Amino acid sequence: MRAAVLYEANQPMVIEDLTLEGPRAGEVLVRIAATGVCHSDYHVIDGSWHGPRYPKPVVLGHEASAVVEAIGPNVSLVKPGDHVILSFASTCGRCQACVRGEPYLCNGMRSPAGTMPDGTRRLRKGDQEINHFGQTSSFAEMAVVHESQAIPIRPDMPLDRAALIGCAVMTGVGAVLNTARVEPGSTMAVFATGGVGLNIIQGGMLANASQIIAIDLLDNKLEYAKQVGATHVINASRVDPVGAIRELTAGQGVDYAFDAIGLPQVSRQAYDSTRAGGTTVVVGIAPTGAEIPIPASIAASSKTVKGCFYGSTRPSVDFPRLVNFYLQGRLKLDEIISRRYRLDEINEAFAALARGDNARGVIVMRD
Protein backbone atom coordinates (compact mmCIF):
# COMPACT_ATOMS: atom_id res chain seq x y z
CA MET A 1 0.00 0.00 0.00
CA ARG A 2 1.04 3.60 -0.51
CA ALA A 3 1.93 5.75 2.47
CA ALA A 4 3.72 9.03 3.18
CA VAL A 5 6.97 8.40 5.06
CA LEU A 6 8.81 11.07 7.04
CA TYR A 7 12.49 10.06 7.15
CA GLU A 8 13.83 13.20 8.82
CA ALA A 9 12.42 16.41 10.29
CA ASN A 10 12.30 19.35 7.89
CA GLN A 11 12.52 17.06 4.86
CA PRO A 12 9.58 16.43 2.51
CA MET A 13 7.63 13.25 3.16
CA VAL A 14 8.12 10.56 0.51
CA ILE A 15 5.27 8.49 -0.93
CA GLU A 16 6.44 4.88 -0.63
CA ASP A 17 5.09 1.39 -1.23
CA LEU A 18 4.99 -0.22 2.21
CA THR A 19 4.03 -3.62 3.54
CA LEU A 20 1.36 -3.57 6.24
CA GLU A 21 0.97 -6.74 8.29
CA GLY A 22 -2.68 -7.70 8.87
CA PRO A 23 -4.69 -7.52 12.08
CA ARG A 24 -3.90 -9.70 15.09
CA ALA A 25 -6.27 -10.50 17.98
CA GLY A 26 -8.31 -7.46 19.02
CA GLU A 27 -7.25 -5.48 15.94
CA VAL A 28 -8.90 -4.12 12.83
CA LEU A 29 -7.62 -3.50 9.29
CA VAL A 30 -9.13 -0.36 7.80
CA ARG A 31 -8.99 1.39 4.43
CA ILE A 32 -8.43 5.10 5.09
CA ALA A 33 -11.07 7.31 3.45
CA ALA A 34 -9.85 10.76 4.50
CA THR A 35 -7.30 12.15 6.91
CA GLY A 36 -6.91 15.66 8.31
CA VAL A 37 -3.78 17.80 8.22
CA CYS A 38 -3.13 18.60 11.90
CA HIS A 39 -0.61 20.66 13.84
CA SER A 40 0.40 17.63 15.90
CA ASP A 41 1.78 15.97 12.76
CA TYR A 42 3.45 19.24 11.85
CA HIS A 43 5.21 19.42 15.24
CA VAL A 44 7.03 16.22 14.24
CA ILE A 45 7.66 17.41 10.68
CA ASP A 46 9.24 20.70 11.79
CA GLY A 47 11.18 19.02 14.61
CA SER A 48 9.54 20.85 17.52
CA TRP A 49 8.48 17.42 18.83
CA HIS A 50 11.62 15.31 18.65
CA GLY A 51 13.77 12.84 20.53
CA PRO A 52 13.06 9.21 21.47
CA ARG A 53 9.29 9.76 21.74
CA TYR A 54 9.14 10.55 18.02
CA PRO A 55 11.28 7.94 16.24
CA LYS A 56 11.74 8.10 12.46
CA PRO A 57 11.19 6.97 9.77
CA VAL A 58 7.49 7.30 10.57
CA VAL A 59 4.09 7.38 8.91
CA LEU A 60 2.25 10.30 10.51
CA GLY A 61 -1.50 11.02 10.44
CA HIS A 62 -3.96 10.58 13.32
CA GLU A 63 -7.23 12.30 12.32
CA ALA A 64 -9.04 9.93 9.99
CA SER A 65 -12.17 8.23 8.78
CA ALA A 66 -12.07 4.76 7.29
CA VAL A 67 -13.96 1.65 6.20
CA VAL A 68 -13.31 -1.65 7.97
CA GLU A 69 -11.73 -4.18 5.59
CA ALA A 70 -11.05 -7.11 7.93
CA ILE A 71 -11.01 -7.94 11.60
CA GLY A 72 -8.65 -10.09 13.64
CA PRO A 73 -9.76 -12.74 16.18
CA ASN A 74 -11.78 -11.61 19.23
CA VAL A 75 -13.12 -8.40 17.67
CA SER A 76 -16.76 -7.72 18.51
CA LEU A 77 -17.28 -3.95 18.23
CA VAL A 78 -16.93 -3.59 14.43
CA LYS A 79 -17.32 -5.73 11.31
CA PRO A 80 -16.09 -5.49 7.72
CA GLY A 81 -17.88 -2.73 5.81
CA ASP A 82 -18.49 -0.54 8.86
CA HIS A 83 -17.70 3.14 8.48
CA VAL A 84 -15.50 4.30 11.35
CA ILE A 85 -13.75 7.33 12.76
CA LEU A 86 -10.32 6.50 14.16
CA SER A 87 -9.35 7.51 17.69
CA PHE A 88 -5.63 8.09 18.26
CA ALA A 89 -5.86 6.90 21.87
CA SER A 90 -6.41 3.16 22.33
CA THR A 91 -8.23 2.14 25.50
CA CYS A 92 -8.22 -1.09 27.47
CA GLY A 93 -11.67 -0.69 29.08
CA ARG A 94 -10.42 -2.26 32.31
CA CYS A 95 -7.93 0.07 34.01
CA GLN A 96 -8.98 2.53 36.71
CA ALA A 97 -9.07 5.47 34.28
CA CYS A 98 -11.32 3.59 31.84
CA VAL A 99 -13.65 2.42 34.62
CA ARG A 100 -13.87 5.98 36.00
CA GLY A 101 -15.10 7.12 32.58
CA GLU A 102 -11.82 8.82 31.68
CA PRO A 103 -10.54 6.54 28.91
CA TYR A 104 -8.39 9.38 27.50
CA LEU A 105 -6.20 8.79 30.58
CA CYS A 106 -6.08 5.00 29.99
CA ASN A 107 -2.78 3.57 31.09
CA GLY A 108 -3.55 0.00 30.20
CA MET A 109 -2.35 0.29 26.61
CA ARG A 110 0.90 2.21 26.92
CA SER A 111 3.45 0.94 24.41
CA PRO A 112 6.89 2.13 23.32
CA ALA A 113 7.06 5.16 21.04
CA GLY A 114 6.50 4.38 17.38
CA THR A 115 4.63 1.12 17.98
CA MET A 116 1.12 -0.35 17.97
CA PRO A 117 -0.66 -0.83 21.34
CA ASP A 118 0.91 -4.33 21.60
CA GLY A 119 4.41 -2.89 21.24
CA THR A 120 5.09 -4.15 17.69
CA ARG A 121 5.51 -2.41 14.34
CA ARG A 122 3.54 -3.60 11.30
CA LEU A 123 4.82 -1.18 8.69
CA ARG A 124 7.85 -2.13 6.60
CA LYS A 125 9.72 -0.88 3.55
CA GLY A 126 11.57 -4.00 2.41
CA ASP A 127 13.42 -5.11 5.57
CA GLN A 128 13.25 -1.72 7.28
CA GLU A 129 10.65 -1.29 10.00
CA ILE A 130 8.72 1.98 9.85
CA ASN A 131 7.35 3.63 12.99
CA HIS A 132 3.69 4.24 13.78
CA PHE A 133 2.37 7.60 15.01
CA GLY A 134 -0.57 8.08 17.36
CA GLN A 135 -1.17 4.31 17.07
CA THR A 136 -2.89 5.34 13.85
CA SER A 137 -0.52 6.32 10.97
CA SER A 138 -3.31 7.43 8.67
CA PHE A 139 -1.22 9.10 5.96
CA ALA A 140 -1.56 5.79 4.17
CA GLU A 141 -4.09 3.83 2.14
CA MET A 142 -4.56 1.29 4.95
CA ALA A 143 -3.95 1.05 8.68
CA VAL A 144 -4.16 -1.55 11.44
CA VAL A 145 -5.57 -0.23 14.71
CA HIS A 146 -6.77 -1.63 18.01
CA GLU A 147 -10.50 -2.35 18.10
CA SER A 148 -11.03 0.46 20.65
CA GLN A 149 -9.72 2.97 18.08
CA ALA A 150 -12.25 2.24 15.32
CA ILE A 151 -15.54 3.85 16.30
CA PRO A 152 -18.50 2.91 14.06
CA ILE A 153 -20.63 5.76 12.73
CA ARG A 154 -23.81 6.15 10.66
CA PRO A 155 -23.23 5.18 7.02
CA ASP A 156 -24.95 8.38 5.80
CA MET A 157 -22.17 10.54 7.31
CA PRO A 158 -19.83 11.80 4.54
CA LEU A 159 -16.41 10.29 5.30
CA ASP A 160 -14.30 13.31 4.28
CA ARG A 161 -16.05 15.44 6.89
CA ALA A 162 -16.15 12.61 9.45
CA ALA A 163 -12.33 12.52 9.51
CA LEU A 164 -12.12 15.86 11.30
CA ILE A 165 -14.07 14.50 14.24
CA GLY A 166 -11.14 12.20 15.05
CA CYS A 167 -8.95 15.03 16.36
CA ALA A 168 -9.72 18.74 15.87
CA VAL A 169 -13.50 18.63 16.32
CA MET A 170 -13.42 16.19 19.24
CA THR A 171 -10.67 18.10 21.00
CA GLY A 172 -12.31 21.50 20.54
CA VAL A 173 -15.95 20.64 21.17
CA GLY A 174 -14.94 18.23 23.93
CA ALA A 175 -12.94 20.95 25.72
CA VAL A 176 -16.18 22.92 26.07
CA LEU A 177 -18.78 20.19 26.64
CA ASN A 178 -16.72 17.56 28.50
CA THR A 179 -13.75 19.29 30.15
CA ALA A 180 -15.11 22.73 31.05
CA ARG A 181 -18.84 21.84 30.97
CA VAL A 182 -19.70 25.38 29.96
CA GLU A 183 -23.17 26.44 31.18
CA PRO A 184 -25.68 28.15 28.85
CA GLY A 185 -25.19 31.93 28.82
CA SER A 186 -21.50 31.76 29.74
CA THR A 187 -18.89 34.05 28.26
CA MET A 188 -15.81 32.53 26.61
CA ALA A 189 -12.50 33.57 25.09
CA VAL A 190 -10.70 31.30 22.61
CA PHE A 191 -6.99 31.94 22.06
CA ALA A 192 -5.72 30.70 18.64
CA THR A 193 -8.35 29.85 16.06
CA GLY A 194 -6.72 27.01 14.14
CA GLY A 195 -8.39 23.62 13.71
CA VAL A 196 -8.90 23.09 17.44
CA GLY A 197 -9.75 26.71 18.32
CA LEU A 198 -12.48 26.88 15.66
CA ASN A 199 -14.05 23.82 17.22
CA ILE A 200 -13.85 25.30 20.71
CA ILE A 201 -15.97 28.10 19.23
CA GLN A 202 -18.35 25.49 17.83
CA GLY A 203 -18.50 23.90 21.29
CA GLY A 204 -19.46 27.32 22.65
CA MET A 205 -22.32 27.48 20.11
CA LEU A 206 -23.52 24.00 21.15
CA ALA A 207 -23.34 25.06 24.83
CA ASN A 208 -25.28 28.27 24.12
CA ALA A 209 -22.50 30.57 25.30
CA SER A 210 -23.65 34.19 25.20
CA GLN A 211 -20.32 35.68 24.14
CA ILE A 212 -17.52 33.91 22.25
CA ILE A 213 -14.43 36.09 21.80
CA ALA A 214 -11.82 34.77 19.35
CA ILE A 215 -8.19 35.86 19.53
CA ASP A 216 -5.55 35.18 16.87
CA LEU A 217 -2.66 36.88 15.08
CA LEU A 218 -4.00 36.30 11.54
CA ASP A 219 -7.02 38.13 10.15
CA ASN A 220 -7.96 35.24 7.83
CA LYS A 221 -8.22 32.91 10.85
CA LEU A 222 -10.43 35.43 12.64
CA GLU A 223 -12.69 35.42 9.56
CA TYR A 224 -13.02 31.63 9.91
CA ALA A 225 -13.80 32.20 13.60
CA LYS A 226 -16.69 34.51 12.72
CA GLN A 227 -18.04 31.96 10.24
CA VAL A 228 -18.39 29.31 12.95
CA GLY A 229 -19.92 31.57 15.59
CA ALA A 230 -17.43 33.94 17.25
CA THR A 231 -19.32 37.02 18.47
CA HIS A 232 -16.17 39.17 18.69
CA VAL A 233 -12.67 38.89 17.24
CA ILE A 234 -9.40 40.37 18.48
CA ASN A 235 -6.16 40.49 16.50
CA ALA A 236 -3.53 40.16 19.26
CA SER A 237 -0.80 41.50 16.95
CA ARG A 238 -2.52 44.89 17.10
CA VAL A 239 -4.16 45.12 20.55
CA ASP A 240 -3.60 43.69 24.01
CA PRO A 241 -6.11 40.81 24.12
CA VAL A 242 -6.51 40.84 27.92
CA GLY A 243 -7.49 44.51 27.99
CA ALA A 244 -9.80 44.06 24.99
CA ILE A 245 -11.55 41.08 26.63
CA ARG A 246 -12.07 43.07 29.84
CA GLU A 247 -13.64 45.88 27.81
CA LEU A 248 -16.00 43.45 26.08
CA THR A 249 -17.11 41.95 29.41
CA ALA A 250 -17.82 45.16 31.35
CA GLY A 251 -14.47 44.93 33.13
CA GLN A 252 -15.20 41.45 34.52
CA GLY A 253 -13.29 39.03 32.34
CA VAL A 254 -14.77 35.87 30.81
CA ASP A 255 -16.21 32.86 32.60
CA TYR A 256 -14.05 30.49 30.53
CA ALA A 257 -10.83 31.04 28.57
CA PHE A 258 -9.29 28.38 26.33
CA ASP A 259 -5.67 28.22 25.14
CA ALA A 260 -5.82 26.21 21.93
CA ILE A 261 -2.12 26.58 21.09
CA GLY A 262 -0.41 25.59 24.34
CA LEU A 263 2.19 28.34 24.65
CA PRO A 264 2.96 29.45 28.23
CA GLN A 265 2.53 33.15 27.47
CA VAL A 266 -0.82 32.46 25.78
CA SER A 267 -1.99 30.28 28.70
CA ARG A 268 -1.10 33.19 30.99
CA GLN A 269 -3.08 35.63 28.84
CA ALA A 270 -6.03 33.25 28.96
CA TYR A 271 -5.72 33.08 32.76
CA ASP A 272 -5.56 36.87 33.02
CA SER A 273 -8.65 37.27 30.85
CA THR A 274 -10.91 35.19 33.15
CA ARG A 275 -13.09 36.75 35.83
CA ALA A 276 -12.62 35.98 39.54
CA GLY A 277 -13.79 32.40 39.92
CA GLY A 278 -13.34 31.80 36.18
CA THR A 279 -11.79 28.76 34.52
CA THR A 280 -8.81 28.53 32.16
CA VAL A 281 -8.59 25.40 30.01
CA VAL A 282 -5.23 24.56 28.41
CA VAL A 283 -6.01 22.50 25.31
CA GLY A 284 -2.90 22.96 23.17
CA ILE A 285 0.11 20.80 23.99
CA ALA A 286 3.00 22.93 25.25
CA PRO A 287 6.65 22.46 24.30
CA THR A 288 8.35 19.83 26.49
CA GLY A 289 9.43 21.24 29.87
CA ALA A 290 7.57 24.58 29.53
CA GLU A 291 5.90 26.05 32.64
CA ILE A 292 3.05 28.53 33.07
CA PRO A 293 3.63 31.24 35.69
CA ILE A 294 0.42 31.75 37.70
CA PRO A 295 -0.01 34.43 40.41
CA ALA A 296 0.08 32.98 43.92
CA SER A 297 -3.04 35.05 44.70
CA ILE A 298 -5.05 32.24 43.10
CA ALA A 299 -6.73 31.63 46.48
CA ALA A 300 -8.22 35.12 46.59
CA SER A 301 -9.22 35.08 42.90
CA SER A 302 -10.66 31.55 43.23
CA LYS A 303 -9.64 30.78 39.67
CA THR A 304 -9.35 27.30 38.16
CA VAL A 305 -6.79 26.04 35.62
CA LYS A 306 -7.56 22.78 33.86
CA GLY A 307 -5.75 20.64 31.34
CA CYS A 308 -7.68 19.01 28.51
CA PHE A 309 -6.36 16.05 26.55
CA TYR A 310 -8.34 14.99 23.46
CA GLY A 311 -11.45 16.86 24.63
CA SER A 312 -11.79 14.48 27.62
CA THR A 313 -13.33 12.12 25.08
CA ARG A 314 -15.10 8.83 25.48
CA PRO A 315 -14.90 8.13 21.74
CA SER A 316 -17.70 5.57 21.48
CA VAL A 317 -20.07 8.07 23.13
CA ASP A 318 -18.79 11.30 21.63
CA PHE A 319 -17.99 10.46 17.97
CA PRO A 320 -21.55 9.32 17.08
CA ARG A 321 -22.91 12.33 19.00
CA LEU A 322 -20.80 14.74 16.94
CA VAL A 323 -21.87 12.98 13.74
CA ASN A 324 -25.51 13.57 14.74
CA PHE A 325 -24.80 17.24 15.45
CA TYR A 326 -23.35 17.59 11.92
CA LEU A 327 -26.22 15.80 10.22
CA GLN A 328 -28.70 17.98 12.14
CA GLY A 329 -26.91 21.13 10.90
CA ARG A 330 -25.69 22.10 14.37
CA LEU A 331 -21.97 21.47 13.77
CA LYS A 332 -20.19 23.09 10.82
CA LEU A 333 -17.72 20.86 9.02
CA ASP A 334 -18.12 21.86 5.36
CA GLU A 335 -17.18 25.41 6.30
CA ILE A 336 -13.95 24.44 8.06
CA ILE A 337 -12.56 22.29 5.23
CA SER A 338 -10.78 24.94 3.19
CA ARG A 339 -9.10 22.54 0.79
CA ARG A 340 -8.94 18.88 -0.17
CA TYR A 341 -5.67 17.25 -1.24
CA ARG A 342 -4.57 13.89 -2.70
CA LEU A 343 -2.01 11.83 -0.75
CA ASP A 344 0.77 12.81 -3.17
CA GLU A 345 0.05 16.49 -2.41
CA ILE A 346 0.78 15.99 1.30
CA ASN A 347 3.86 18.23 1.45
CA GLU A 348 1.87 21.04 -0.18
CA ALA A 349 -0.89 20.50 2.40
CA PHE A 350 1.57 20.94 5.27
CA ALA A 351 3.16 24.00 3.66
CA ALA A 352 -0.34 25.55 3.61
CA LEU A 353 -0.78 24.62 7.29
CA ALA A 354 2.55 26.25 8.17
CA ARG A 355 1.45 29.45 6.41
CA GLY A 356 -1.92 29.42 8.20
CA ASP A 357 -3.81 29.38 4.88
CA ASN A 358 -6.54 26.88 5.72
CA ALA A 359 -9.11 26.44 8.46
CA ARG A 360 -8.48 22.75 7.87
CA GLY A 361 -6.93 20.82 5.00
CA VAL A 362 -8.05 17.25 4.38
CA ILE A 363 -6.34 14.52 2.39
CA VAL A 364 -8.97 12.46 0.58
CA MET A 365 -7.79 8.93 -0.17
CA ARG A 366 -10.76 7.89 -2.29
CA ASP A 367 -13.93 9.44 -3.63
Residues of this chain that bind Zn ion (CB under 5 A): 38, 40, 63, 92, 95, 98, 106, 108, 167
Catalytic, out of 39, 62, 132, 232: 62
Rounded CA Rg of the chain: 20
Quote the least distance from Cβ 92 to Zn ion, whole Å: 4
Quote the least distance from Cβ 102 to Zn ion, whole Å: 9
Quote the least distance from Cβ 134 to Zn ion, whole Å: 8
Catalytic, out of 38, 98, 106, 308: 38
Catalytic, out of 98, 106, 167, 308: 167
Between residues 63 and 272, which has the closer beta carbon with respect to Zn ion? 63
Quote the least distance from Cβ 76 to Zn ion, whole Å: 17
Between residues 298 and 317, which has the closer beta carbon with respect to Zn ion? 317
Among this protein's residues, is 308 annotated catalytic? no
Cα–Cα dist 3/13, whole Å = 9
Between residues 23 and 195, which has the closer beta carbon with respect to Zn ion? 195
How would you class 263 by CB atoms within 10 Å of its CB: exposed for 0-12, middle for 13-18, buried for 19 or more? Answer: middle
Catalytic, out of 40, 65, 90, 138: 40
- Runs of H (alpha helix) within the chain: 39-45, 96-100, 159-162, 168-174, 195-206, 219-228, 241-248, 264-272, 298-301, 315-327, 346-355
Distances (CA, A) of 168 to 82, 103, 105, 347: 22, 18, 18, 20
Among this protein's residues, is 43 annotated catalytic? yes
Among this protein's residues, is 83 annotated catalytic? no
Strand order in the sheet with 254-259: 232-235, 211-216, 187-191, 254-259, 274-282, 304-307
Among this protein's residues, is 98 annotated catalytic? no
User: What is the rounded (10 degree) CA torsion for 107, 108, 110, 115?
Assistant: -150
Among this protein's residues, is 39 annotated catalytic? no
Cα–Cα dist 282/141, whole Å = 33
E strand or H helix at 293: none
Quote the least distance from Cβ 224 to Zn ion, whole Å: 17
Catalytic residues: 38, 40, 43, 62, 167
